[in-house]
Chains A and B, each alone.
Chain A
Amino acid sequence: MPRLYKKWICIILSSTLLFLGGCWNRREIETLAFVTATGIDGAAEPKKVQVTVQIAKPATLVASAMGGVATERSFWLVSSTGYTTFEAIRNFAHQSSRRLYWAHSQWLVFGEELARRGIEDVLDIFFRDGETRQTAKLAIFKGGKASDFLQTELEMERLSSGAYLGILQTGTGAQSTVVDVDLRQFLIALAGEGIEPVAIRAESIDRPPDVDIRGQMERTTISRAPRITGAAVFKGPKLVGWFDQPETRGYNWIMGKVKSGIIIVERPEVSDKYVGLELMRARSKLKPEIVEGRPSATVIVEAEANVGDIQAMFEVTDTTRMMSAMERRMATVIVNEIMAAVDKAQRELKSDVFGFGQAIYQEYPKEWRRLREDWNDRGFPELEVKTEVTVKLHKTGLTEIGLPMRR
C-alpha cells in the first residue's frame, strides 16, 4: 500500500477519535426544565431539607403564533426533600419529566425559620456545583417559608423571578433602601474576617381590600403582594435580625453603595413643610483608627444632590442661605441614617455587617489579632463610630430655588 494512503488513513482514523466520545453532555434545550428560582426551607421531617423550585414553562412565556398569551400560570412550583440539599435536588427526578437546569436560577430564597437556624448546611451545593450560578440573588423571606414566596404572582410579569429582579433594580436605583446581594458576595462576607453578611429581605404585604387588583389576565385574585425592602442581617450563617428602610440606607452609606435616593429634609424658613433632595452621587470611605488601644472608625461621606421639590415654593427670601441650610439638614439626615444602622447593629444585633473589623484588620493587622477574638460581641458594640458628612447641592432643576411670585 502506498505511503500516501497510510498517511491519510492515519489522519482520518485519528480524527474520528474526536467524535468517538459521542455527543457527551449534549442536552437538547427542550429536554431541560429551567429553574428560575430556588427556595430552601426546613422540611416537616426533622433533619431534612425541603427544596422548592420555580420552573419556567417556556411555551406560556412567548406569545404563540396564533396570537395571544396563554392564560395558565407560567411556572411550575415543585418541592422535594432530602437529608442534604443535593439529595433533595436529585429527588426531583421522580417528579419532573425534564432534567432540572440550574444555570438560569436567579434567586436563592431561604425561609426565615431556616435562616434563623443557620444556612451553612444547605448552602454548599450552590457554589460547589458548576451549573448553579453565584450571581443568583440571595434573599430571606421574612415571616414565612421560601416556597410561599416563590408562589406569589405579580401583576406585571408572568415569571416572578424576573419581576423580583426588576424590583431589586428599581429599588436600588431609586431609593437605595434595599441591598443587592448575590450568592458570591454573601459567601465572601461570610468567609471574610471582621465582616458579617447581609441578604436581601423579601416580605409579603397584605393588599388593601378595596383595591381592584384583578388584571385582564383573569388570574386568581392576588391577596398578598411581595415587597423587597431593607436587609436581612446575619451573624455568621445565622439570621439575627432585620434592617428597615432608613437603616438599610445607612448601611448602604457606609458601604458606599448608595446610588440614588430622595432625602426629605425640613423646609428652611417655613415650618411644617418639606424639601425633597435628589441624591445624585455619593462617595464614602471607612477610616479606622486605634488610639491608645481603643479602636474607632470614621465614616466619611461626600454626597452631591439636586433640589427635587420644595413645598411653599413661593416663599423664598435668601437663596444662598436656604441652599446651605438644606445642605446642612441633608447632612444631618445622612448622619442619622448611618447612626441608626450602626446603633442597631451594635446594640441589638451585635453583628458587624459593615466590615469595620475588616477595615481595622487591613489597617492594623497586629492589633486585630487581639481584637478579633470576640469582635462581634465586645469589640464592635463598643466601637466608637464617627461620621464626616459633606453635602453639596448643585442644580435646582429647570427653575431657581424659589419660583418668582406672580403679582
Chain B
Amino acid sequence: MIGKLWRKLKRRRAWPKKDFTGASFSEIQTHIQSENLTGDLKETEAKIREAFGNSPDVTFRYLRLGADLKMELLITHLDGMVDTNLISVGVIRPIVEEQATPWEDLPSGKMAHSLLKQRLLETTGIKETDSLAEILEYMSSGFCMVFVQDVPWAIACEVRRWAERNVSEPATEASIRGSREGFVENHRVNTSMLRRLIASPQLWLEELQIGAVTKTVVTIAYIKGIAEEGVVEEARRRLQSIEVDSILESGYIEEYIEDAPYSPFPTILRTERPDKVAAALLEGRVGIITEGTPFVLVVPASFTHFLMASEDYYERYPAGSFIRMLRLLALFISLTLPSFYVAVTTFHQEMLPTPLIMSIAAQREGVPFIAVVEAVFLELSFELLREAGIRLPKVIGPAISIVGALILGEAAVRAGLVSSAMVIVVAATAIASFASPIYSMAVSVHLLRFPMVLLAGSLGLFGVLMGLSAILIHMSALRSFGVPYLEPLAPTIFSEWKDALIRAPLWMMDRRPQSTVQKEPIRQDPGQKPTPPK
C-alpha cells in the first residue's frame, strides 16, 4: 500500500523530464512558465516539441551562418498558420544569402542576433522574447521564431496567414441599399473595415487577450474625444475582469459583461455590419471586436437601437421613419397577437364584431383543444420548423419549410386539430417576428410570447395587460453601460425622438445623442437643409 503510494509520488516527481503524462492543464502551464531558454538549440527544439506534444504541424529548420558556417540557427513555426512564401523570402533567403559573405571570425551569438534583427529579417513585425510561454503563444498566433545558438532569447517574425472567409454580404443583416460588406472572422480585417469608414487617427483601438486557453484577441474600438471616457473605462474594466478559459464568440463576452444577466432582453447590440458599428462609434458608443467571429458588440445600446437598421439612414427619411414604426408594430404583434387572440376568444367574445366572432366560432367548431393549448401547440411547432429550417442543409431547408408550413398546417386544419384562424394568427406572428432587424431581440420576444399566451389563457386580457406591464416595468429598470434601456422614451428626451421611433431628415440631426456624448455635442452645422439657390 505504502509502496504503491510511493511509486505514484515518485512518478509524479519525475514527470517533467519525460512527457506530460497524467499532468493537468494548469500543471503543464506552470511548468512551461518556469522554463527559460538556455541557448542550446537542441534543447529548445525538445522543449517546444514537448510543449506541443509532438504535434505534426510544428516545423523546425536548422540553418547556419557566419564564418565556416559555424553559427547555428533554428527556425520554427506552426504549419498552416503562416505564409510559407513569406518565410522563405523574408526569413530564410536573407540568411542563406548572408552565408555567401565571408565572415572574418566567428561573431558572438549576440552579434548574430542583432544582425538578424536589424538587417537580415525582412518581415514587418518583429518581436523579442525570452520566455518559453511567450514563444509558444507567438507560435500559436502565426509567428515564425528564429533562435540563435547560445543566445537565450528569440526573435518572432510576423508571417501569419491562414485560410479565411472572404468579405461577403452579412447573412443576418442584408440590406437593399448600402454597403454589402460584412465583418469576417479575422479581427484585423474587421478593424481595417472600420478604419476605411472612419479615416481618422482618433479612431482608437485597444487590444486585450481574454481566455486562459484560447487567448482570444478582443479589440475595443472608440473615437477618442467623442466617446465618454467613463463608458470606455467601464468597457475596459468589464472586459479585463473576465477570467475564463475560452472565448469562442462574442456571445461569450456579451454574457460576461452585460448589465442584466437575468433579463430576457439583450442590453448589448451585436451586428455584422461595419457601417452600423461606424455609425455607433460616431455616436460615442464603443465597439468590441472579437477574433474569430463576424459579430461585433456595441455598447451602450438602448431598446430603440434594436429597431434600427442602417438602411433607415440610407433610404430617404419618410421611408426610414415608416419602416421603423412598422418594426415596432411588428415587435408588438409578435409579442401579443397570439395572447390577444386567446384572450378574446376565451374571455372577451363581446369585443369582436359579430360577423368576425361568427367566423371564428365556425372555425372552432369541432376543434378538440381549448384555445390556449391550440396556441401553445402551434407556436411550438412553428418554433420547431424555424429551428429545423436553420439547421438543415441549405438544399433541403426550403423543402422542410414548405412541407411544414403548408402541408402540416393545411392537414392540421382539415383534420380538425386546429382552427384555421389560429393558423393565421401564428403565421402572422411569425412574419412579424422576422421583421426584427436584430435576431437577438426577436428571440427574446419569441420566448416572452409563451408566458403571455399562458397569462391570456388563464386571466384573459387582464393577464395580457399584467404581462405587458411587467415587461414594461422590467424594461424601464434596465440599463446598458449607464444608459437607461428605454432612453429616449422613458427618461423622456424629446430632442432625441428625432432618431428613435422615427428617423428625422439628416439635416435636422445637428447634435449627437446626449446620453452618450457630452463633450462634443455638435455633429454638424445647423441649417444644412437644402434650399434652391437665391
Binding site for B on A (CB under 8 A): 18-19, 21-23, 25-30, 32, 34, 36, 56, 58-59, 61-62, 65, 101, 103-104, 106, 131, 133, 159, 162
B441 → chain A, closest Cβ, in Å?
25
Question: Quick one: CB contact mask for B343-378 with A, threshold 8 Å, 1 for yes?
Answer: 001110110001101111111111100110000000
A28 → chain B, closest Cβ, in Å?
5
A292 → chain B, closest Cβ, in Å?
54
B343 → chain A, closest Cβ, in Å?
10
B467 → chain A, closest Cβ, in Å?
11
CB contact under 8 A between A28 and B365, given known A18-B459, A19-B458, A65-B414:
no
Instruction: Pick the most buried of A21, A32, A59: most chain B CB atoms within 10 A of its CB.
Output: A59
Which residues on the B side are within 8 Å of A19 (C-beta)? 458-459
Contact between chains at B458 and A22 (CB < 8 Å) = yes
Contact between chains at B358 and A27 (CB < 8 Å) = no
Contact between chains at A133 and B350 (CB < 8 Å) = yes
Question: Quick one: CB contact mask for B454-468 with A, threshold 8 Å, 1 for yes?
Answer: 000111100100100
* Candidates A21, A29, A131, A162; contact of B357 at CB < 8 Å: A29
A279 → chain B, closest Cβ, in Å?
30
CB contact under 8 A between A56 and B358, given known A25-B347, A26-B347, A28-B371:
yes
A233 → chain B, closest Cβ, in Å?
29
A and B contact pairs by CB, cutoff 8 A, 18 listed = A18-B459, A22-B458, A25-B347, A25-B460, A26-B347, A28-B370, A28-B371, A29-B345, A29-B349, A29-B361, A30-B361, A30-B365, A34-B358, A59-B365, A62-B358, A101-B349, A104-B349, A104-B357
Please tell me the size bucket of the interface on B.
20 to 34
Closest B-chain residue to A104, C-beta based? B354
* Candidates B354, B359, B371; contact of A62 at CB < 8 Å: B359
A81 → chain B, closest Cβ, in Å?
27
A67 → chain B, closest Cβ, in Å?
14
Closest B-chain residue to A101, C-beta based? B349
A301 → chain B, closest Cβ, in Å?
35
Which residues on the A side are within 8 Å of B354 (C-beta)? 34, 36, 104, 106, 162
Closest A-chain residue to B355, C-beta based? A162
CB contact under 8 A between A34 and B357, given known A22-B458, A25-B347:
yes
Which residues on the A side are within 8 Å of B350 (C-beta)? 103-104, 131, 133
B21 → chain A, closest Cβ, in Å?
42
CB contact under 8 A between A29 and B359, given known A19-B458, A103-B349:
no
Question: Quick one: CB contact mask for B187-209 with A, threshold 8 Å, 1 for yes?
Answer: 00000000000000000000000
Which residues on the A side are within 8 Å of B361 (C-beta)? 29-30, 32, 34, 58
Alpha-carbon distance between A283 and B460 when the two chains are bound, in angstroms:
45
B370 → chain A, closest Cβ, in Å?
5
CB contact under 8 A between A59 and B362, given known A28-B370, A162-B355:
yes
Which residues on the A side are within 8 Å of B355 (C-beta)? 162
Further 15 A-B residue pairs, CB within 8 A, beyond A23-B457, A26-B347, A61-B359: A19-B458, A23-B346, A23-B458, A28-B346, A29-B364, A29-B371, A30-B364, A30-B366, A34-B354, A34-B357, A62-B362, A101-B349, A103-B349, A131-B350, A162-B354
B339 → chain A, closest Cβ, in Å?
14
Which residues on the A side are within 8 Å of B457 (C-beta)? 23, 26
Which residues on the A side are within 8 Å of B349 (C-beta)? 27, 29, 32, 34, 101, 103-104
Contact between chains at A62 and B357 (CB < 8 Å) = no
* Candidates B358, B370, B371, B459; contact of A58 at CB < 8 Å: B358
Closest B-chain residue to A132, C-beta based? B350
B363 → chain A, closest Cβ, in Å?
7
Which residues on the A side are within 8 Å of B414 (C-beta)? 65
Closest A-chain residue to B366, C-beta based? A30
Alpha-carbon distance between A294 and B370 when the two chains are bound, in angstroms:
68
In B363-419, the 8 Å CB interface with A consists of 363-367, 370-371, 413-414
Closest B-chain residue to A26, C-beta based? B346
Which residues on the A side are within 8 Å of B358 (C-beta)? 34, 56, 58, 61-62, 159
Closest A-chain residue to B345, C-beta based? A29
Alpha-carbon distance between A56 and B457 when the two chains are bound, in angstroms:
25
Alpha-carbon distance between A162 and B356 when the two chains are bound, in angstroms:
13
Alpha-carbon distance between A36 and B355 when the two chains are bound, in angstroms:
11
Which residues on the B side are within 8 Å of A106 (C-beta)? 354
In B304-352, the 8 Å CB interface with A consists of 345-347, 349-350
Alpha-carbon distance between A29 and B328 when the two chains are bound, in angstroms:
31
B358 → chain A, closest Cβ, in Å?
5
Which residues on the A side are within 8 Å of B463 (C-beta)? 18
Alpha-carbon distance between A366 and B401 when the two chains are bound, in angstroms:
78
Contact between chains at B458 and A28 (CB < 8 Å) = no
Alpha-carbon distance between A36 and B354 when the two chains are bound, in angstroms:
9
A377 → chain B, closest Cβ, in Å?
42
A340 → chain B, closest Cβ, in Å?
37
Alpha-carbon distance between A22 and B454 when the two chains are bound, in angstroms:
12
Alpha-carbon distance between A58 and B354 when the two chains are bound, in angstroms:
11
Alpha-carbon distance between A106 and B370 when the two chains are bound, in angstroms:
27
Alpha-carbon distance between A36 and B364 when the two chains are bound, in angstroms:
19
Alpha-carbon distance between A27 and B414 when the two chains are bound, in angstroms:
24
B274 → chain A, closest Cβ, in Å?
43
Closest A-chain residue to B346, C-beta based? A26
Closest B-chain residue to A102, C-beta based? B350
Alpha-carbon distance between A27 and B346 when the two chains are bound, in angstroms:
5
Closest B-chain residue to A165, C-beta based? B354
Alpha-carbon distance between A243 and B413 when the two chains are bound, in angstroms:
53
Contact between chains at B346 and A58 (CB < 8 Å) = no
Q: Give me the 6 closest cross-chain CB pairs, A-B, nearest first.
A: A103-B350, A58-B362, A58-B361, A62-B362, A30-B364, A29-B345
Closest A-chain residue to B344, C-beta based? A29
B452 → chain A, closest Cβ, in Å?
14
Closest A-chain residue to B354, C-beta based? A104
Which residues on the B side are within 8 Å of A22 (C-beta)? 458
Which residues on the B side are within 8 Å of A104 (C-beta)? 349-350, 354, 357
Closest B-chain residue to A158, C-beta based? B358
